[in-house]
Amino acid sequence: MKKLFILFVFLFCLAGCSSSGQETEGNSQEVVEITVSAAASLTDALNEIKTQFENEHQNIKVTFNFGSSGTLQQQILQGAPADLFFSAAEDKFDELIKKGFINEGNSVDLVGNKIVLVTPKDSQKGIESFSNLKEKADKISIGIPETVPAGKYAKEMLEAIGEWESVENKIVYSKDVRQVLTYVETGNVDAGIVYNTDALISSKVNVIATAEAGTHTPIIYPIGVINESKNVEEAKVFFTYMKSENALAILEKYGFSNL
């Protein structure tokens, strides 16, 4: 009887250990969170891509840090945690490559964009082009050229067509391109210069004109993995996904152009 009892206890413990092992094995794939620092103009497209990506990769959770590319670049330079950088400007991105924060092998120029002139939907100002802003607009919003790529492109374009000096005193600077769009939507300014992709998502603005090619630096959006990422493998999975047909189709739907 004693021997049977000892055998029973042994088998019970063995079963418990086996069950515990199976539970550990089943839960071994814990969820890893990655942070993507991305230009504000990518907000809507990336939120849709995130949904599809997480459905296909349930062990990876994506969190976005949206802002102007210049601000995000400075955050990364100062050591803020980030796993990938998706910039609206090559120069901000290239500086991180030069300083060793991103390897060229883990980066790619992914999509392009355009800048456009927008006015409030109910505007009565009669603005018809970039060239009559000096006569018909009292307030014009663009992003801060030093930190907001869309603002830099806008200034370059206005200088190229000879209009910058005549409108400079009317400029209302914004912290990112989405703030420019909000100022136009609410009628706080008479016109703004934003990305085509931002204009497409708003029902509260009219697109008046598109900047001509050659009047500003080409608008290219590079993406890359941060070398100091604590989740490099998961970051590379997302990086690879961003180059997929599914992700590129969503970006194109929101007005970005394939390179």
Q: Give domain limits for the chain.
A: 32-112+220-258, 115-210
The yes-or-no answer to whether 32-112+220-258 and 115-210 have a common fold is yes
Tokens of 5: 């009892």
pLDDT at 14 over 60: no
Residues 216, 232 contacting (CB under 8 angstroms): no
Looking up tokens 């964009």, which residue turns up? 113
**CB of 31 within 8 A of CB of 59?**
yes
Closest CA to 191 of 132, 247, 107: 132
The top-level CATH class assigned to 115-210 is alpha beta
| pLDDT 10s digits, 159-200 | 999 999 999 999 999 999 999 999 999 999 999 999 999 999
- DSSP E strands, the chain: 32-39, 60-67, 84-86, 102-112, 115-120, 140-143, 171-174, 191-195, 205-210, 220-226, 257-258
What's the N-to-C CA distance of the chain in angstroms?
79
Confidence of residue 29 (pLDDT cuts 50, 70, 90): confident
Q: What is the mean pLDDT of the chain?
A: 91
169 to each of 138, 140, 141, 166, how far by Cα in Å? 9, 9, 11, 8
CATH class of 32-112+220-258: alpha beta
